[in-house]
């Protein structure tokens, strides 16, 4: 597969089984996040890796967080979250080490973390692994973030080996989201009725 084929065919998946990346593979994969565009070289990304016997404890913290931030959650949703966090081969908590007082705006720092996460998803796919970025109201929970040693959460990556053949969903036509500017404001095909 060429690099372009890889980038054009990557898809997220939560149908994951063992193995997760080895420690060496994981460092190579996370190394691609260090190639994210990073204004001011602030390196705002942080990764907390949870696997094996530590997963049930994380799942309990997730459930406790839901009780704080989503107290109306139905029991089925709580149990689904508990099971997913307790059984995914590897979970990577995406942390943001932000500097609100820095001259580089906060939103640029957050986008840098996101760009790093995208590189990780591509690197997982390129190395035969799979993953998906999940969030939910609990990423706003400062207590959960602190329990992980983070000041701010950007979500979680579920990571493992795709269970079965990779399904590549149909992608949108990029021309719909692109316009050439000739001195007047553009319009996009994607925004037409
Ligand atoms: C910041 C962020 C948070 C997300 N949170 C969730 C989530 O909580 N649940 C979910 O099903 N998808 C979530 N997604 C979307 C999936 O990660 C994924 O992009 C989506 O399933 C589409 O798959 P694709 O990456 O193959 O296009 C999130 C994406 C981003 C960027």
Instruction: Say if 63 falls within a structural domain.
Output: yes
pLDDT reported for residue 57: 98
What mean pLDDT value characterizes the chain?
97
Instruction: Say if 4 falls within a structural domain.
Output: no
84: domain range? Answer: 10-191
* CATH number of domain containing 110: 3.40.109.10
If one counts the domains in the chain, the total is: 1
What does the pLDDT look like over 170-183, one tens digit per residue?
999 999 999 999 99
Structure tokens belonging to residue 58 = 């994380």
pLDDT reported for residue 193: 77
The span from the CA of 122 to the CA of 29, in Å, is 9
pLDDT higher than threshold 80 for residue 166:
no
What does the pLDDT look like over 71-127, one tens digit per residue?
999 999 999 999 999 999 999 999 999 999 999 999 999 999 999 999 999 999 999
- Cα–Cα distances (Å) from 108 to 41, 55, 114, in that order, read 11, 32, 10
Instruction: Say if 91 falls within a structural domain.
Output: yes
**Nearest 10 degrees: CA dihedral of 30, 159, 21, 25?**
-20
pLDDT reported for residue 125: 97
pLDDT reported for residue 164: 83
3-class secondary structure, 154: strand
Instruction: Say if 3 falls within a structural domain.
Output: no
Instruction: Say if 176 falls within a structural domain.
Output: yes
Nearest CA to ligand 1 atom 11: 134
Ligand 1 pocket residues where CB is under 6 Å: 11-12, 132-136, 155
How much distance in Å is there from the Cα of 101 to the middle of ligand 1? Answer: 30
- Is residue 135 a known part of a binding site? yes
Instruction: Please indicate whether residue 166 or residue 121 has the higher confidence score (pLDDT).
Output: 121
- Cα–Cα distances (Å) from 31 to 25, 35, 47, 79, 106, in that order, read 10, 7, 11, 34, 23
Instruction: Say if 1 falls within a structural domain.
Output: no
3-class secondary structure, 43: coil
Nearest CA to ligand 1 atom 23: 12
């Amino acid at each position: 597969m060429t690099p372009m084929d890889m980038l054009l065919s990557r898809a997220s998946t939560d149908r994951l089984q063992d193995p997760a990346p080895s420690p060496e593979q994981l460092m190579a994969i996370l190394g691609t996040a260090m190639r994210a565009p990073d204004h001011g070289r602030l390196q705002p990304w942080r990764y907390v890796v949870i696997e094996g016997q530590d997963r049930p404890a994380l799942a309990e913290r997730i459930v406790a967080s839901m009780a704080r931030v989503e107290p109306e959650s139905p029991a089925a949703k709580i149990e689904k979250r508990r099971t997913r966090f307790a059984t995914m081969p590897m979970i990577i908590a995406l942390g943001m080490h932000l500097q609100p007082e820095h001259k580089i705006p906060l939103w640029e720092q957050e986008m840098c973390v996101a760009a790093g996460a995208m590189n990780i998803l591509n690197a997982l796919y390129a190395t035969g692994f799979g993953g998906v970025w999940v969030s939910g109201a609990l990423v706003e929970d400062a207590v959960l973030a602190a329990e992980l040693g983070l000041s701010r959460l950007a979500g979680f990556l579920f990571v493992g080996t795709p269970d079965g053949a990779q399904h590549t969903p149909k992608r949108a036509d990029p021309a719909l989201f692109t316009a050439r500017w000739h001195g007047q404001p553009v319009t996009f095909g994607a925004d037409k009725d």
